Amino acid sequence: MSQPASYNSPVFSLEQLASLTAVLEGAKQRGFLGPGPVGNHIEHALPILTLVAEDSREALDLGSGGGVPGLVLALARPGIHWTLLDGSVTRSRFLQNAVQDLDLSRRVKVTALRAEEAARSALRGSFDTVTARSFGAPAVTAECGSPFLAKGGRLIVAEPPEGAPSRWPPKGLEQLGMVPGVRVTSPSTFQVLEQVVPCADRYPRRTGIPAKRPLF
Ligand SMILES: C[S@@+](CC[C@H](N)C(=O)[O-])C[C@H]1O[C@@H](n2cnc3c(N)ncnc32)[C@H](O)[C@@H]1O
C-alpha cells in the first residue's frame, strides 16, 4: 500500500486517510487525477465542506473523474448521500471500486452518464448540493450542474487560481435560475452559485451543445 499523504487532517482517522490516499494514488496512476501530490488534492477539496449547507443530505459531484472532490467529501462528512457522476465508463468503474474500497457503498453511488443525459432522469432537481472541479468552462458547468439542483440548492465550483468573479455573470446565470453566491479565495478559490428558482426545462441542451454554444 502507498504511504498516507502527509496531510495532517483531524477529519479522517489514520486508517481512512491511508485508504483514501491509496485510492487517489490509483487514480493518479491511471491518469484520472491532475499533477501534484495526492495530499494536495485532499487539502484542496476539504475547504468545500465549509460551503456545504449544514442540512445538506443529497449531493452530486459533477465529472468526478478520479474522485476529487466527491470521495474526499463523502468520507469527511457522514450524513450526506453522494452521487458521483462521470460520463466516462472507465472512470466510473474506477470510482465504483473506490467506493467499495472506502466502505462507502451505503451512501455513495456512481452514475456513468453524461450530465446532459443524467439531468433528464430521476436525478433532475434531486440534490441540495452539486460540486464541480475542472468540469468545464463556467457556462458549461452551470448549465450541466443547475438542472440537478432543487430550489435553494448550491453549486460549488472550484475555481482556477487566475479565475475572476466576472467568469460568473449574473445575466448569464439568470437563464438557469441561478445567482452568484459566496466566493471564498483562501486557502483556494471557490464560487458558490445559488439555485433561486428551479432550472428551466429546456436546460441542459443536448449532449455537447453546452460546450459548443455556451450560454455566456
Ligand atoms: C478534468 S476531469 C476532472 C476530474 C475531477 N473532478 C478532478 O478535479 O480531478 C473532468 C471529468 O469530467 C468528466 N466529464 C466531462 N464532461 C462531462 C459531461 N458532460 N458529463 C459527465 N462527465 C463529464 C470527464 O469524463 C472527466 O472525468
pLDDT digits (tens, 9 = 90+) for 11-31: 899 999 999 999 999 999 999
CATH code of the domain made up of 14-212: 3.40.50.150
| pLDDT value of residue 45 | 98
Residues 177-204: tens digit of each pLDDT: 999 999 999 999 999 999 999 999 999 9
Distance 135 CA to ligand 1 centre (A): 5
**How far is it, in rounded angstroms, from Cα 135 to Cα 138?**
9
Confidence band (pLDDT; 50, 70, 90) for 125? very high
How much is the average pLDDT of 89-117?
A: 98
- Mean pLDDT across the stretch 63-75? 98
Residue with the smallest CA separation from ligand 1 atom 26 is 65
* HEC-encoded secondary structure of 54-74: CCCCEEEEECCCCCCCHHHHH
Is the distance from the beta carbon of residue 6 to the nearest atom of ligand 1 less than 6 Å?
no
User: Is there an atom of ligand 1 within 6 Å of 167 CB?
Assistant: no
Nearest to 30 by CA among 97, 85, 118, 84: 97
Q: What is the pLDDT of residue 3?
A: 42
Over residues 31-49, the pLDDT tens digits come to 999 999 999 999 999 999 9
CA-proximal residue: ligand 1, atom 12 (nearest):
63
What are the backbone dihedrals phi and psi of residue 9, each rounded to the nearest 5 degrees, phi first? -110, 125
Sign of CA dihedral 127, 130, 136, 139: positive
Q: What is the pLDDT of residue 4?
A: 43
Q: What does the block give as the cell for 75?
A: 468520507
The whole-number pLDDT of residue 162 equals 87
**Looking at residues 76-104, what average pLDDT do you find?**
98
Which band of pLDDT confidence, cut at 50, 70 and 90, is reported for residue 9?
Answer: low
**Percentage, residues of the chain above pLDDT 90:** 94
Binding site membership of 87 for ligand 1 (Cβ less than 6 Å): yes
In the chain, the percentage of residues whose pLDDT exceeds 70 is: 95
| CB of 205 closer than 6 angstroms to any ligand 1 atom | no
* Ligand 1 neighbour 133 (Cβ under 6 A): yes
As a whole number, the mean pLDDT across the chain is: 95
pLDDT of residue 6: 46
Cα 190 to chain centroid, rounded = 12
Q: Is 97 helix (H, G, I), strand (E, B) or coil?
A: helix
